[in-house]
Chains A and B, each alone.
Chain A
């Protein structure tokens, strides 16, 4: 079974802090994704990566950056956390041969105070 793990289930940070969310997948998938999920807005794509060191902006990249130095790991960085970044963050991965079949991690609920 594909396993996607995220570094924390719950995280509380202060406004202005730099925040790192880590995601690791164990299926050698080429594609990795970061989403945020908010009530009434569904899931929105922040960034995705289709290869090591490659990244593409999604629908809402402002205030976020990403890093993919190794194939199995995709990090989401909030350079200066703000209260409007309080949300559920979901990481996903998919293979190059089945790109739309994404496997999701359990999510990180981030609260910025």
Chain B
């Protein structure tokens, strides 16, 4: 089971870049890395997904080193509205292995 390890919490200030690193030492060859965001009283929301190197969309960037044993979610210039819990998941098509874990609680301060 490709479980992940993330920091429990992080603090940042508005306008800063935030990097959240996730460790997944047991990642399998066909596993993708996926990140979700969850606000209080809402279901998680898909942010970004990648397999290797770098992926960027309008919300975030995802950096994956060659060995794929870790990944970093980068949020550029965060605002107060980015305060949320961020989950890193690894998994392929077998959803039994799609493990959410406890996530990283990001607190953005003014």
Question: Which A residues have a C-beta under 8 Å from some C-beta of B?
Answer: 4, 31, 33, 35, 40-45, 48, 50, 56-59, 90, 92, 99-107
Contacts and interface: CB of A to CB of B under 8 A. Distances in A.
A interface majority secondary structure = strand
A100 B102 contact: no
B43 A90 contact: yes
Contact of A100 (B32, B42, B103): B32
Most buried by A among B43, B45, B49, B100: B43
Given A56-B95, A100-B32, A105 B43 contact: yes
Contact of B95 (A48, A103, A106, A107): A48
Contacts of B100: 35, 42-45
B105 to A, nearest CB: 11
Given A48-B95, A56-B96, A42 B87 contact: yes
Interface residues of B, number: 22
A106 B43 contact: yes
Interface in B86-110: 87, 89, 91, 93, 95-96, 98-103
Given A100-B89, A101-B49, A45 B43 contact: no
Contact of A45 (B32, B34, B49, B98): B98
A106 B100 CA distance: 17
Contact of A43 (B41, B44, B91, B96): B44
B95 A92 contact: no
A31 B95 contact: yes
Contact of B98 (A40, A41, A57, A100): A100
Contacts of B45: 104
Nearest to A105: B43
B68 to A, nearest CB: 15
B44 A100 contact: no
